[in-house]
């Protein structure tokens, strides 16, 4: 009898252990299973009957970070009837309680209790290691294999995508919510104990040992994630369902989620203009077929967002009228700012500086000073000595801002050559023991807010949008929200504060990609036009971004391009072809002065409209898109009927090279080539590059078939180039690809037949290390008809 009782006890004990080891939670198509130590044993999709957990690496449900160490759970107690798991961390003497909700589309995991708070610096959900490696969505935390998606979604702003990258809680990577790992991937999220004062290396380590003030109540309790798996084609639908179920930001345009909206990936126009120009700019925007007129800088100061009276003499009322005009014409209207940057002329700075300005650190004043003293003694030089990331050299004592030149190297530590009452503040006396704060600044000559002031600034932006009706905004310079020392949490909270307070539909861009912000963001649009022409300005960077957008369910965007007074149709169509190839939108920067000065403005705007109509109408097939992506190919699109175009492709010849070498007296100086023109008869087009580090070419001559001579009485420096597009005007570009000028040629445009031609080139080489001449011909190789397939 005793033996039977013992056997029964052992059997029940075994069943109990087995039950614990099989602790399991399910959605309709996903199962999460844990063992007795809180390690995941299954990330299971019931449709494929496959476990996607990477078997050779341990995946703990939750990791604690304490004093720089990562601690895995030592045991797990599962109460399935209460949908609750308790994890113990024996070496730390800590425990974490997690509530789990089983929903049809996903599981929700939330920390409901964590003790002792003093020992928990951060927690990490995972990392969870998977066998999936085909597509890794680093921003959104979703991995895909062509059939199935597996994902982790952060469900509140305190939970960040990633694996606790720094004590600041921030990363400069585009995303770390999902990462490649061995033969598969990992998905992960983290939350920091912000409910205690701490020191952090802020803004990617630029500001060392910065004191970070506690945010009351922002402990790891409440950190929440969703886990899901689904068929890959259903992924975007599943993400939308999770957004709606978990009350995440869900921006819509005309009632449609932006990520499914007809405006997804559409292009827009950026310009500088005022009340007097708005009708003209609306006309340009509509002619180009773009969706929004976006002002590149209407503010006199950031912080309070005071409009520049030269552009908007009627202030917000003038802006509101401009917005209404845009809306009446079917356009959105945007404004540009740099997130939480504060100009030195803003009321947060002058005449009385706000006490909530962000400080990289502080010290104590060691002597009484009057309003004129220019040498100020501080207790410690730690935050005042660094010269890097110290543009404005500004301290704050009470209501006075003071600029200093440098700090003495030895005790007493003296701030030298001080400028009292800086930025319009009032110089005044201060007593020993006063706090001397070193203000955080930036090379844009701005200051930054602490977290309390940042939230007020977010309200200022939202109020401006609500008062004027502006419905398009880029969170440019979003890294400014690192200024409070709260890392990516500060970035996401700033965006959420704005989003939550705006009362109308809002299109939102960004300069940084963060996991929670993905739910707010309408597009990423990286790439700027300022230093080069259309095909030189960060072009490879722009192209490389497209794969990231694809991995993370964001619209393809090519960045900003500048339409200048010298932009040509071939340059514009070079960019538009790339946009069509990648099905990517862009921002066209076109200011009134340039549009008025460029004689081709009408053609350029019409070209944008036609290419965008064809792109958005899916007129190009996959094979055509492949050719359109190739930067060596050039194209022209000509409308022949509504929704139908002729697409002409231009190819490039081999490169012909002329370089300096010693010749005998009397020997001809020219270089002769044979060019076999493979295309049908057409106007001569070519590009001439001056290749080298120094020196120049001058007195350039080209002779075609021993009779037609083109003389170019100019000098091109190394790195410069010129282009002939079949007209009698040569376009000249500087070494950065920016238009430099035009040069008329001495003969009418040449028509070149197909077949063999003799090309002779001559020039004078200037300099000791002379450059080479590289000549390349261009010709139209094919014409094909394309037609809209859908809108």
Q: Is the pLDDT of residue 680 over 80?
A: yes
List the structure tokens of 253.
């345009």
Query: If pLDDT is split at 50, 70 and 90, which confidence band does 738 have?
Result: confident
* Mean pLDDT (whole number) for 389-407: 97
Number of Cβ atoms within 10 Å of the Cβ of 405: 11
Q: Which of 605, 302, 256 lies closest to 476 in space, CA to CA?
A: 302
CA distances from 10 to 23, 75, 77, 201 (A): 20, 21, 20, 55
Strands (E), 338-384: 342-343, 359-364, 376-378
Strand order of the sheet with strand 557-562? 523-524, 507-510, 472-475, 332-337, 292-295, 268-271, 585-589, 557-562
Average confidence (pLDDT) over 636-643: 96
- Which element (helix H / strand E) includes 756? strand 755-766
User: Residue 61 pLDDT more than 50?
Assistant: yes
Band of the pLDDT at 741, cuts 50, 70, 90? confident
**In this predicted structure, what is the pLDDT of residue 740?**
87
Structure tokens that stand for 378 in this block: 């501080």
Residue 53: both structure tokens together: 């957990």
Q: How far apart are CA 357 and CA 454, in angstroms?
A: 9
Torsion of CA 247, 252, 254, 260, to 10 degrees: -120
Where are the strands (E) in 173-301, listed by range? 178-181, 184-192, 198-202, 207-212, 224-231, 252-253, 256-257, 268-271, 292-295, 299-301
Q: Residue range 364-368: average pLDDT?
A: 97
Structure tokens belonging to residue 231: 């068929």
Residue 580: which H helix or E strand, with range?
Answer: helix 569-581
Instruction: For residue 236, give Cα distances in angstroms to 9, 77, 153, 525, 551.
Output: 50, 34, 13, 21, 12
Mean pLDDT for 404-409 is 96
Please classify residue 701 by burial: count the beta carbons closer than 10 Å to its beta carbon, then call 0-12 exposed, 13-18 middle and 19+ buried: middle
Go through the chain and tell me how many residues it has: 791
Helix H segments across 528-568?
Answer: 539-551
Interstrand relation of 406-407 and 708-717 (parallel, antiparallel or unpaired): unpaired
> Using CA atoms, how far apart are residues 411 and 171, in angstroms rounded to an integer?
37
Mean residue pLDDT across the chain: 94
Which is it for strands 413-416 and 406-407: parallel, antiparallel or unpaired? antiparallel
pLDDT at 6: 42
Residue 384: band (very low, low, confident or very high) from pLDDT cuts 50, 70, 90: very high
Place of tokens 């104590």: 364
Instruction: Return the SS3 of 750.
Output: coil
Residue 588: beta bridge partners? 269, 561
- 283 phi and psi, to 5 degrees? -60, -45
**pLDDT greater than 70 at residue 709:** yes
* Tokens representing residue 431 in the block: 């007593």
DSSP code for 224 = E
Q: How far apart are CA 130 and CA 51, in angstroms?
A: 9
The SS3 assignment for 11 reads helix
786 upstream amide cis, omega within 30 of 0: no
Q: What is the pLDDT of residue 12?
A: 38
Q: How confident is the model at residue 674 (pLDDT cuts 50, 70, 90)?
A: very high
CA dist 476 → 4, 6, 655 (Å): 74, 70, 41
Residue 10 has pLDDT above 60, yes or no: no
Assess contact for 87 and 95: CB atoms under 8 A.
yes
Residue 665: pLDDT band with limits 50, 70, 90: confident
- Paired residues of 647 in beta bridges: 637, 784
Residue 21 has a pLDDT of 52
In a 3-state reduction of DSSP, which class is residue 634? strand
683's tokens: 């106007």
Buried b (16+ CB within 10 A) or exposed e, 526-537: bbbbeebbbeeb
* 3-state SS, residue 260: helix
Q: Specify the 3-state DSSP secondary structure of 780.
A: strand
- Which residues lie across from 731 on neighbouring strands? 723, 742
- Whether 120 and 64 have beta carbons less than 8 Å apart is answered as yes
Q: Give the pLDDT confidence score for residue 11 in this predicted structure.
A: 40
Question: What's the CA gap between 449 and 342, in Å, rounded?
Answer: 8
The DSSP output letter for 368 is -
User: Helix, strand, coil shares of the chain as percentages rounded to 5?
Assistant: 20, 40, 40
d(CA 153, CA 164): 16
Closest to 94 measured CA to CA, from 68, 125, 63:
63
Determine which of 90-99, 427-436, 739-748 has the lowest per-residue pLDDT on average: 739-748
Interatomic CA distance for residues 604 and 589, integer angstroms: 13
Measured CA to CA, the distance from residue 395 to residue 411 in angstroms comes to 19
Residue 409 has pLDDT above 80, yes or no: yes
Return the closest-CA partner of residue 427 out of 382, 374, 359: 374
CA–chain centroid gap for 143, Å, is: 21
pLDDT digits (tens, 9 = 90+) for 515-535: 999 999 999 998 876 555 666
Q: What is the pLDDT of residue 5?
A: 47
- Continuous segment of H or E residues that includes residue 322: helix 315-328
- Phi and psi angles of residue 646, each rounded to the nearest 5 degrees, phi first: -95, 125
- State both tokens at 330: 């079917």
Query: pLDDT digit string (tens) for 148-201?
Result: 999 999 999 999 999 999 999 999 999 999 999 999 999 999 999 999 999 999
Is beta strand 224-231 parallel, antiparallel or unpaired with respect to 148-154?
antiparallel
User: Cα(687)–Cα(652) distance, rounded to whole angstroms?
Assistant: 10
Q: Residue 536 — pLDDT band, cuts 50, 70, 90?
A: low
State pLDDT tens for residues 80-115: 788 999 999 999 999 999 999 999 999 999 999 999
Angle (deg, nearest 10), helices 451-468 and 487-501: 30
Per-residue pLDDT at 664: 72
CA–centroid distance for 721 within its chain: 32
CB distance 428 to 420 below 8 Å = no
* Per-residue pLDDT band at 209 (split at 50, 70, 90): very high
Report how far residue 92's alpha carbon sits from residue 556's, in angstroms, rounded to the nearest whole number: 47
pLDDT at res. 340: 96
- Edge-to-edge order in the sheet of strand 413-416: 376-378, 413-416, 406-407
pLDDT at 791: 64
pLDDT of the residue at 17: 42
d(CA 86, CA 74): 11
**Percent of the chain topping pLDDT 70:** 96
- Residue 689: pLDDT above 60? yes
447 vs 394: CA distance, rounded Å: 9
User: In whole angstroms, how far apart are CA 762 and each of 217, 393, 672, 768, 777?
Assistant: 77, 57, 9, 18, 17
Q: Is the pTM of this model over 0.85?
A: yes
Minimum mean pLDDT among 66-75, 396-405, 556-565, 662-671: which range? 662-671
Q: How many CB atoms lie within 10 A of CB 19?
A: 12
pLDDT value at 334 more than 80:
yes
Characterize the bridge pairing of strands 268-271 and 292-295: parallel
Q: How confident is the model at residue 704 (pLDDT cuts 50, 70, 90)?
A: very high
Could you tell me the two tokens for 467?
A: 């008062």
Q: CA 300, 405, 481: angle at the middle one, nearest 5?
A: 45
Cα dihedral angle (383, 386, 390, 396), rounded to 10 degrees? 30
């Amino acid at each position: 009898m005793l033996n039977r009782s013992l056997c029964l006890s052992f059997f029940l004990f075994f069943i109990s252990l087995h039950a614990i080891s099989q602790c399991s939670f399910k959605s309709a198509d996903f199962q999460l299973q844990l063992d007795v130590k809180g390690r995941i044993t299954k990330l299971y999709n019931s449709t494929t009957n496959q476990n996607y957990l990477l078997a050779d690496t341990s995946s703990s449900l939750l990791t604690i970070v304490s004093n720089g160490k990562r601690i895995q759970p030592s045991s797990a107690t599962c109460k399935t009837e209460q949908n609750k798991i308790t994890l113990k961390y024996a070496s730390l003497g800590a425990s974490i309680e997690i509530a789990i909700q089983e929903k049809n589309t996903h599981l929700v995991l939330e920390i409901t209790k964590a003790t002792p708070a003093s020992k928990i610096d951060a927690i990490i959900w995972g990392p969870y290691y998977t066998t999936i490696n085909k597509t890794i969505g680093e921003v959104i935390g979703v991995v895909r294999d062509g059939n199935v998606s597996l994902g982790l979604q952060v469900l509140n702003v305190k939970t960040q995508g990633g694996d606790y990258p720094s004590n600041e809680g921030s990363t400069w990577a585009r995303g770390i919510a999902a990462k490649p790992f061995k033969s598969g991937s990992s998905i992960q999220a983290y939350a920091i104990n912000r409910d205690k004062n701490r020191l952090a290396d802020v803004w990617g380590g630029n500001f060392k040992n910065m004191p970070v003030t506690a945010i009351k109540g922002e402990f790891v309790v409440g950190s929440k994630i969703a886990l899901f798996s689904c068929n890959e084609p259903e992924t975007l639908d599943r993400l939308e369902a999770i957004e709606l179920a978990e009350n995440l930001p869900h921006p819509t345009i005309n009632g449609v989620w932006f990520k499914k909206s007809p405006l997804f990936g559409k292009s827009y126009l950026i310009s500088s203009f005022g009340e007097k120009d708005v009708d003209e700019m609306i006309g340009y925007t509509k002619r180009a077929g773009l969706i929004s007129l976006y002002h590149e800088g209407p503010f006199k100061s950031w912080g309070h967002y005071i409009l520049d009276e030269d552009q908007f003499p009627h202030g917000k009322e003038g802006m509101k009228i401009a917005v209404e005009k845009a809306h009446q014409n079917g356009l959105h209207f945007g404004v540009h700012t740099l997130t939480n940057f504060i100009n030195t002329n803003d009321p947060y700075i002058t005449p009385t500086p706000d006490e909530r300005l962000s400080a990289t650190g502080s010290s104590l004043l060691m002597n009484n000073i009057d309003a004129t003293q220019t040498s100020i003694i501080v207790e410690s030089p730690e935050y005042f000595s660094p010269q890097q990331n110290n543009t404005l050299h500004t301290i704050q004592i009470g209501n006075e801002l003071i600029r200093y030149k440098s700090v003495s190297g030895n005790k007493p530590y003296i701030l030298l050559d001080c400028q009292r009452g800086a930025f319009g503040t009032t110089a005044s006396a201060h007593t020993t023991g006063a706090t001397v704060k070193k203000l955080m600044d930036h090379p844009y000559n701005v200051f930054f807010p602490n977290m309390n002031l940042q939230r007020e600034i977010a309200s200022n932006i939202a109020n401006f949008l609500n008062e004027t009706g502006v419905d398009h905004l880029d969170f440019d310079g979003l890294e400014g929200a690192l200024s409070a020392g709260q890392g990516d949490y500060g970035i996401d909270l700033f965006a959420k504060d704005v989003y939550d307070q705006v009362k109308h539909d809002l299109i939102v861009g960004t300069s940084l990609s963060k996991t929670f912000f993905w739910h707010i963001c309408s597009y990423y649009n990286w790439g700027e036009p300022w230093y080069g022409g259309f095909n030189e300005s960060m072009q490879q960077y722009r192209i490389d971004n497209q794969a990231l957008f694809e991995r993370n369910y964001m619209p393809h965007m090519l960045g900003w391009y500048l339409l200048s007074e010298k932009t040509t149709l071939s340059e514009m169509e070079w960019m538009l072809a790339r946009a069509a190839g990648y099905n990517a939108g862009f921002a066209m920067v076109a200011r009134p002065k340039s549009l008025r000065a460029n004689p081709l403005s009408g053609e350029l705007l019409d070209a944008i409209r036609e290419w965008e109509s064809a792109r958005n109408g899916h007129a190009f097939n996959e094979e055509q898109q492949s050719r359109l992506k190739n930067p060596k190919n050039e194209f022209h699109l000509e409308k022949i009927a509504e929704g139908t175009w002729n697409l002409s492709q231009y190819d490039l010849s081999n490169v012909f090279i002329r370089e300096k070498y010693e010749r005998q007296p009397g020997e001809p100086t020219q270089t002769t080539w044979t060019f076999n023109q493979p295309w049908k008869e057409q106007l001569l087009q070519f590009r001439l590059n001056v290749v080298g580090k120094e020196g120049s070419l001058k007195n350039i001559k080209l002779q075609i078939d021993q009779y037609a001579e083109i003389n170019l009485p100019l000098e091109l420096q190394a790195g410069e180039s010129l282009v002939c597009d079949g007209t009698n005007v040569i376009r000249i570009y500087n070494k950065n690809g920016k238009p430099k000028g035009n040069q008329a040629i001495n003969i009418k445009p040449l028509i070149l037949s197909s077949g063999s031609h003799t090309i002779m080139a001559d020039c004078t080489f200037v300099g000791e290390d002379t450059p080479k001449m590289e000549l390349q011909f261009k010709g139209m190789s094919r014409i094909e008809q394309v037609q809209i397939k859908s809108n």
